Structure 1
Amino acid sequence: MAEIVLLHSAQGLRPGVGVAAEVLRSGGHVVRTPDYYDGEIFADVASGLRKRDALGFGEIERRFRRIGEDVTGPVVFAGFSLGAYGAQSLAATHPMARGALLFHGGVAPEGEWPRGVPVQVHYAEHDPWLDVEEIDRLAAAVGPGFERFVYPGERHLFADPGLPDYAPESAALMWKRALDFLTRT
């Protein structure tokens, strides 16, 4: 059983994040879903990105660090899109990090990746919001603890059942793989 901190996308703490948390809890895990967007939820990516830009990356990173300060035991950081960035940042710097699950996002790390902290990344093959070269650099930094799963299509947040991008078959396979990762972490 792992403690998981699951970070939402730029669209806020949508009901789909709660669905994801329940899937992870069904594997016996403790899941926290902190809100770093002041309770605001957005129906579309453009509105969520305006919120992100209004806050600024410095403030968002401060909020991610504050979330990490509440973690006192072994943890897997997970996140969707913008939240994947936060999960990756926390997994790279938090002393209790045991892994990172990055859904629909990931970037090249700024420094060395910590040894023994595995990463699993999930994204759609033609996701217009994702830079595959960034994921390639992340893979190189993580080394043998890196797993990448690419799903058909171009849908960004394909695991959120409340969004038009929802792809149930891809989402089900993603959750199976994520739960397998957690049993090894």
Structure 2
Amino acid sequence: MSREVLLFHHALGLTPGVLSFADDLRAAGHTVHTPDLLGGKTFDSVIEAVSHAHDIGMEEITALGVAAAADLPHDVVYAGFSLGVLPAQKLAQLRPGAGGALLLHSCLPLGTFGPWPEGVPAQVHAMDEDPFFVDDGDLAAAEELVATVPGAELHLYPGKGHLFADPSRGEYDPDAAALLLRRVLAFLS
């Protein structure tokens, strides 16, 4: 089954690694849209990237992501890497007919956008010792999601890397990233 996916990048921008992940999904027969929420900017430093994202504003970044879905069908699967989870989760929870949510390296509390819509599947992927995921409340949010939403899945991988599925990052973990991709492809099928 071929799906349409709207994939949002992390705070470092639309990196070659995010594009490579999108290409992996395309190679499996899916249509993948990769909007650029940072106007073409990419960063090597997480500190610079997060500072830039705060300068733009999280609400503005989320609004840009929501706008990217305007001309797409309603049964899109919304996916996001870290910062990209903001618009992905908002769309999955609030846009009628969502086909699913793939929340990579981040998860927002359910109350952020209201209750989870019935029938919208979700997967969350992160490393079990990622300080951004564990210490910033994302793990607790993901556990709540799995406990509340029938069929929702939380996949934890051993390690501390935050953007472990982005092959353009030093924290890339090829084994964990390959397993994540297999699980994502199974979710999409």
TM-score (norm: length of structure 1):
0.94
In structure 1, how many angstroms separate the alpha carbons of the residues matched to 2:68 and 2:145?
23
The residue that corresponds to 1:162 in the other structure is 168
Residue from 171, 175, 178 that aligns with 1:172:
178
In structure 2, how many angstroms separate the alpha carbons of the residues matched to 1:182 and 1:58?
28
The residue that corresponds to 2:94 in the other structure is 93
Taking only aligned residues, the RMSD between alpha carbons, in angstroms, comes to 1.1
In structure 1, how many angstroms separate the alpha carbons of the residues matched to 2:87 and 2:74?
18
- Partners of 2:35 and 2:65 within 8 A in 1: no
The residue that corresponds to 2:152 in the other structure is 146
Following TM superposition, by how much is the alpha carbon of 1:92 offset from its aligned partner in structure 2, in angstroms? Answer: 0.5
The residue that corresponds to 1:119 in the other structure is 122
Gaps of 5+ in 1: none
In structure 1, how many angstroms separate the alpha carbons of the residues matched to 2:49 and 2:33?
21
- Whether 2:62 is the aligned partner of 1:61: answer yes
- Partners of 1:116 and 1:145 within 8 A in 2: no
In structure 2, how many angstroms separate the alpha carbons of the residues matched to 1:61 and 1:175?
25
What is the aligned length? 182
The residue that corresponds to 1:29 in the other structure is 30
Q: Which runs of 4+ in 1 moved over 3 A?
A: none
- Whether 2:103 is the aligned partner of 1:102: answer yes
Residue type matched to 1:122 in 2? H
Q: Are the structure 2 counterparts of residues 129 and 137 from structure 1 closer, same or farther at C-alpha, using a change threshold of 3 Å? A: same
In structure 2, how many angstroms separate the alpha carbons of the residues matched to 1:40 and 1:70?
24
TM-score (norm: length of structure 2):
0.92
Following TM superposition, by how much is the alpha carbon of 1:73 offset from its aligned partner in structure 2, in angstroms? Answer: 4.2
The residue that corresponds to 2:71 in the other structure is 70
Paired residue secondary structure (1:6): strand
Following TM superposition, by how much is the alpha carbon of 1:44 offset from its aligned partner in structure 2, in angstroms? Answer: 1.9
- Partners of 2:8 and 2:81 within 8 A in 1: yes
The residue that corresponds to 2:131 in the other structure is 128
Gaps of 5+ in 2: none
Following TM superposition, by how much is the alpha carbon of 1:79 offset from its aligned partner in structure 2, in angstroms? Answer: 0.8
Paired residue secondary structure (1:77): strand
